[in-house]
Amino acid sequence: MALRKVLIVGGGSAGWITAAYMDAVLNGSTKKIIDITVLESPDIGRIGVGEATVPSVRDTMRTIGVPEQDFMRAADATFKQAIKFVNWLDGNDAYYHPFDRRPAGRLDRAGLRWLSSDRSTPFAATVSPQPWMCEDGLGPKLMDSPDYEAPVSYAYHMDAERTADFLCDLATKRGVKHVQDLMTEAEMHEDGRIAAVKTQAGKRLEADLFIDCTGFRALLIEGALGVPHVDYSQWLLCDRAVAMRVPFETYYPGTRKPYTLSTAVSNGWIWDIGLANRRGVGYVYSSDFIDDDTAEAELRAYEGAHADEVQARRLKFKVGRREQFWAKNCVSIGLASGFIEPLESTGLFLVELAAATICEYFPMTNNMAGLADKFNLVMQRRYEETLDFIVLHYCLTRRNDTDFWREVQKSDRITDSLKSWLEIYQYKSPSHSDFTDSLQLFSHHTYEYVMYGMDFQRDKIAGRRMPPTAIPKEIEDAVLKSRGAFPSHDAWLEAKFGTQYERAS
Ligand SMILES: Cc1cc2nc3c(=O)[nH]c(=O)nc-3n(C[C@H](O)[C@H](O)[C@H](O)COP(=O)(O)OP(=O)(O)OC[C@H]3O[C@@H](n4cnc5c(N)ncnc54)[C@H](O)[C@@H]3O)c2cc1C
């Protein structure tokens, strides 16, 4: 059978993850069945953000076939064990959403037990050692843990540009073609499929399947095929970000945090991510409530006086998704397919999922409509699931210090599906059977971390004398063991890759 030609337009994280993944899965272990070309403009930059990930990225990198430390070194990566949310509830609070949760069997009563206690210990600290490990500055891995494995679950913080460069280098060495040129137009077949892409240098690139990874430009899926964008701005108000890269020579805060810090501020939230040789900070905000200059000033104030030396980059975005992710012979992946604000690091997860799913549904014929329908269903559900989960973080707030925080709590800012679950959760805790889709990223564990982190149903125990929250012995033992056994996050990174100063030079 002739090789199927795949043209990926766009060489950001989405383009290169997709190229490397498809090559590894579809060409790696069997006879080569696809011929992949990545067309990337040397003049249009990548978005350059997208530094926090979720644990699925370990499987993705393992499948691509990369030794873990090679990837971490190239991407200036550090470990992520959790997200620490600060000031989301009332402006004077903090809670963890860790990756690890001690298994409790099918009838998980941990939530109910916590709800009927005085809540003197945060919920997450009663079901996972990871909040404790994060506060202790420990990494998730032992010095001799095998690649991509550790006693607790983890993901990475990684430099988005360097990750894309690393995967470009790896994929091209394995045979993926790289054309550095600007796409100028798409040539169409009479039946509405894309026939070829033309470039500034006069090339005409034909393919059987086109993958649109052109970021927010969405040149193929929207530009050539006219697939509409489904707008989520009714539920998610943020539409801007301002981001800074703070080098360690400018400011080194002591240790690299083994978690993402997300701090709610006047009109949105600030991410704070420690990489091996710099920090990435950024303010995600709503332009209806704060102007760009004031938002940048607020980010600089968060960072401190040294931030005056650092340049800030401003970004605009639309929240939502494609009505169809795969239309005719074009699949959109990454920002071209949609975007939901990065509060739970779902952007790269959705890229990984799309890359894996396209391998499963890879079209060996030009009759693709049936495969496209299935693919679209998988991706649509993931977007809707992500939307609900992100809205959950906002709608439970009790902040009323600005119009923004008062607005996000209003009923018409909550999706109908989330509303119906929150109604049910007045009477029962989240449990296994509420999450029946095997591809779901979020589970009753993640819902409980956020709901109880945000003190859900606090009014039910107000004024009542409740027993103190008990920390199960299993968690106490795991915390004690971690203190003796796990190297600090910095110690692990420095033992493998050198000090932050060596890395920065
Ligand atoms: C503020 C912000 C913060 C984020 N934080 C996170 C996070 O912490 N974690 C996470 O998982 N995700 C995050 N994301 C999402 C993440 O950045 C993206 O999902 C990911 O980087 C994929 O981007 P992309 O490759 O689709 O687009 P881009 O990086 O924009 O790449 C687009 C590519 O298309 C090419 N291109 C464009 N036009 C042409 C043309 N005419 N011809 C040829 N090539 C062209 C460009 O050269 C570029 O290579 C964040 C996004 C934003 C906006």
Q: What is the pLDDT of residues 258-315, one digit of tens each?
A: 999 999 999 999 999 999 989 999 999 999 999 999 999 999 999 987 888 899 999 9
What value does the mean pLDDT of the chain take? 94
Which letter does DSSP use for residue 149 in this model?
-
pLDDT band of 499, cuts 50, 70, 90: low
* Identified catalytic residue from 5, 31, 32, 80: 80
Residue 502 in this model has a pLDDT that exceeds 70: no
Residue 142 in this model has a pLDDT that exceeds 80: yes
215 lines ligand 1 (CB under 6 A): yes
Distance CA 170, CA 172 (A): 6
In whole angstroms, what separates CA 310 from the centre of its chain?
Answer: 25
Residue 448 in this model has a pLDDT that exceeds 80: yes
Query: pLDDT, tens digit, for every residue of 394-419?
Result: 999 999 999 999 999 999 999 999 99
Query: Collapsing DSSP states into helix, strand and coil, what is residue 274?
Result: strand
For residue 247, report the distance from its CA to the centre of ligand 1, in Å.
Answer: 22
Distance CA 462, CA 4 (A): 64
162 lines ligand 1 (CB under 6 A): no
**336-350, 430-444, 468-482, range with the lowest pLDDT:** 430-444
Question: What integer is the mean pLDDT of 3-17?
Answer: 97
Query: Collapsing DSSP states into helix, strand and coil, what is residue 132?
Result: helix
Q: Is 80 a catalytic residue?
A: yes
- Count of helices and strands (H, E) across the chain: 16, 21
For residue 287, report the distance from its CA to the centre of ligand 1, in Å.
Answer: 21
Q: What is the CATH code for 4-51+159-232+319-382?
A: 3.50.50.60
Q: Where are the domains of the chain?
A: 4-51+159-232+319-382, 82-140+240-316+425-505
Residue 248 in this model has a pLDDT that exceeds 80: no
For residue 160, report the distance from its CA to the centre of ligand 1, in Å.
Answer: 9
For residue 320, report the distance from its CA to the centre of ligand 1, in Å.
Answer: 15
52 lines ligand 1 (CB under 6 A): yes
For residue 15, report the distance from its CA to the centre of ligand 1, in Å.
Answer: 9
280 lines ligand 1 (CB under 6 A): no
In whole angstroms, what separates CA 47 from the centre of its chain?
Answer: 14
In whole angstroms, what separates CA 108 from the centre of its chain?
Answer: 27
Identify the residue whose C-alpha is closest to ligand 1 atom 38.
214
Distance CA 466, CA 464 (A): 6
Q: Best substitution site from 261, 335, 346 to test ligand 1's pocket, by max atoms within 8 Å of Cβ?
A: 335
Nearest to 152 by CA among 135, 119, 128, 172: 128
Side-chain-side CA neighbours of 175 within 13 Å: the count stands at 13
Q: Best substitution site from 8, 13, 38 to test ligand 1's pocket, by max atoms within 8 Å of Cβ?
A: 13
Reading the block at residue 197, the tokens are 């892409």
High-pLDDT (> 70) share of the chain, %:
97
Q: Spell out where 248-340 has E strands.
A: 260-265, 268-274, 278-285, 312-316, 320-322, 326-327, 330-332, 338-339
User: Is residue 83 within a helix (H) or strand (E), and if so which, with residue range?
Assistant: strand 82-86
pLDDT band of 50, cuts 50, 70, 90: confident
In whole angstroms, what separates CA 253 from the centre of its chain?
Answer: 24
Query: pLDDT, tens digit, for every residue of 177-222?
Result: 999 999 999 999 999 999 999 999 999 999 999 999 999 999 999 9
